[in-house]
Amino acid sequence: QWIVDKYEVGLEAYPQIKEAARILQANQVVAFPTETVYGLGANATSNEAVNKIFEAKGRPSDNPLIVHISRLEQLDMIAQDISDIARQLISKFWPGPLTLVLKKKDNSISEKVTAGLNTVAVRMPDHPIALALITAANLPLAAPSANLSGKPSPTLAKHVADDLAGKIAGIIDGGATGVGLESTVIDCSGEIPVILRPGGVTKEQLEEICGKVEIDQALVTEGQAPRAPGMKYTHYAPKAPLYIVNGSKIFIQSLVNEKQEQGIKVGVLTTTEREQEYAADEVIACGSRNDLESVANRLYEVLRLFDESKVDIIFSESFPNEGIGEAIMNRLHKAAGHQLINE
């Protein structure tokens, strides 16, 4: 584990970054911070290296990876037929939490990265350590979130170590990530861009640049096969069953009381505004309701905290489905396996 201060200048020359870059060039895997969540990086041009990502995470091999770059020239080595709309999104949101699915260029990166698809997902992260590492390695890096498959994505180096210590060559600890949820994935390989995964860049922000944006129907209607293969798996799930509750705090408290009377240990996921108002075995505030970005920032950490608290069941408040709230509710629904209680 290397600890690196992201505010240092000239990071690509730092010994820790150089060492991690050498390890990547030797086709080993290294975890590093980005502005969204920690990623598990490997040389995207090597089958051997990319295989190690799937092995360490226990990730199904039909789930393709995002390629991370630090310079625009790297994009044209990986993707082709890039539309004007895609170029506009890139110039507005890169570096940043937006992943574009584009037509793949032949013989550029390992087939394992794209799981046999003819498209490739690419992003330029907005994090000095991530950018310095990619530049120092001088390689495009395939990098999924650095968690065990099915667990919440890591927002602290400690989360990576909890999941992957002993299975990977190293972790660069750059402190807490920023957004706290993964990047938005937008498919720009067709006429109209389609959001495959809501994330750090909101639908409203995207529409300002490209007018009409569609949302993969599988995100809205249950039972449809999502176009981002990764969206079909259960994800982000804490050990205890999680229920999203659409209702007042009095209603939520009554659910808690009912379970406690049966001897069940109950957790409540709330916000700072209401933290003091519940009586349960574990009440954890996830940011402030007046600042949904703070909720996004803490969500995965809070889901992991519930695992340490040994509750048997968790009730979560629900959040408005707009702006970053769309990504929050998407992740909460996946963590809850779509279990919803309406008042």
Q: Please say which residue, 101 or 139, places its beta carbon nearer to ligand TXA.
A: 101
Burial of 118 (0-12, 13-18, 19+ CB in 10 A): exposed
The site for ligand TXA (CB under 6 A) is made up of 34, 36-37, 39, 63-66, 97, 99, 101, 114, 117, 119-121, 125, 143-145, 182-183, 185, 196-197, 227-231
DSSP 236-253: S--SS-EEEEES-HHHHH
Q: Please say which residue, 202 or 318, places its beta carbon nearer to ligand TXA.
A: 202
Q: How far is the CB of 102 from ligand TXA (least distance, A)?
A: 8
SS3 101: strand
How far apart are the C-alpha atoms of 170 and 47, rounded to whole Å?
19
Q: How far is the CB of 183 from ligand TXA (least distance, A)?
A: 3
Packing angle of the helix pair 84-93, 203-210 (nearest 10 deg): 130
Q: Please say which residue, 46 or 145, places its beta carbon nearer to ligand TXA.
A: 145
Q: How far is the CB of 111 from ligand TXA (least distance, A)?
A: 12
Q: How far is the CB of 152 from ligand TXA (least distance, A)?
A: 11
Q: How far is the CB of 180 from Mg ion (least distance, A)?
A: 13
Q: Tell me which of ligand TXA, Mg ion, none is bound by residue 82, counting a contact when its beta carbon lies within the kind-specific cut-off of 5 to 8 angstroms.
A: none
Binding part of the chain for Mg ion, among 4-12, 88-96, 109-117, 142-150 by CB under 5 A, reads 142-150
Residue 274 token pair: 């209401």
Whether 125 and 53 have beta carbons less than 8 Å apart is answered as: no
Whether 343 and 247 have beta carbons less than 8 Å apart is answered as: yes
Q: Please say which residue, 229 or 247, places its beta carbon nearer to Mg ion.
A: 229
Residue with the CB atom nearest ligand TXA in the bound state: 230
Question: Within 13 Å, how many C-alpha atoms sit on residue 213's CB side?
Answer: 25
Q: Please say which residue, 12 or 216, places its beta carbon nearer to Mg ion.
A: 216
Position among 27, 145, 177, 270 found at the interface with Mg ion (CB under 5 A): 145
Q: Tell me which of Mg ion, ligand TXA, none is bound by residue 36, counting a contact when its beta carbon lies within the kind-specific cut-off of 5 to 8 angstroms.
A: ligand TXA
Residue 177 token pair: 């990530």
- Each residue of 28-67: b (16+ CB within 10 Å) or e? bbbbbbbbbbbbbbbbbbbeebbbbbbebbebeeebbbbb
Q: Please say which residue, 34 or 70, places its beta carbon nearer to ligand TXA.
A: 34
Question: How many chain residues touch Mg ion (CB under 5 A)?
Answer: 1
Residues that bind Mg ion (CB under 5 A): 145
